[in-house]
Amino acid sequence: MRKGWILLVLLGGLGLAQEMSPASLQEMGNFIKKTNPASYLLYAAEAKDFVEVFEPFILDVRTAEERSRGFLPGSVHIHISQLPDRLGELPKDKDKPILVYCGTGHVSAVAAAYLRALGYREVKNLNGGFRAWLELGLPVQRP
């Protein structure tokens, strides 16, 4: 039950934290302490290599409007607000590498933490998001 609260807060924003019990807040804090950002952040050049070597499931959590301007080749679009309802579209294998990205890397960091809390072990977040990918001139697919 408490894990559910943690996931809800991660997706709903920290504003909900004011409504959580002290025990739930403590559990959320423990989860955050265990989630070392260095273990899942990839800069754009590293992400390019990660994609080439590991052939991950690439998850775009941006809006449809953002995606219409371009996206990482082979990515699957699931807006972050739809993620809890579309888990069936994610890999069944919890060890399958996953690269999550958004426009700047902030929203995708929440999505990556959510996926890690669900048991996915090889989740990476594109630090700087799609913007950083574009700045390096890396491949982009257009609709």
User: Which tens digits make up the pLDDT trace of 72-86?
Assistant: 999 999 999 999 999
- In the chain, CATH 3.40.250.10 covers 37-135
What is the per-residue pLDDT across 92-113, written as a single tens digit (0 to 9) for each? 999 999 999 999 999 999 999 8
**Spans of the chain below 70 pLDDT:** 1-20, 28, 31-32, 35-38
The pTM assigned to this predicted structure is: 0.80
Helix ranges, the chain (H): 2-12, 22-34, 44-54, 64-67, 106-117, 129-135
What's the confidence (pLDDT) of residue 75?
Answer: 99
| Cβ proximity of 90 and 57 under 8 Å | yes
User: Reading across the β-sheet that carries 57-60, which strands appear in turn?
Assistant: 41-42, 123-126, 98-101, 57-60, 76-77
Q: What is the pLDDT of residue 96?
A: 98
Find the farthest-apart pair of alpha carbons in the chain and give their distance in angstroms, rounded: 47
pLDDT attached to residue 16: 45
Annotation: CATH topology of 37-135: Oxidized Rhodanese; domain 1 (3.40.250)
Active site residues: 102
Q: What is the pLDDT of residue 30?
A: 74
Q: What is the pLDDT of residue 1?
A: 43
pLDDT at residue 119 in the model? 92
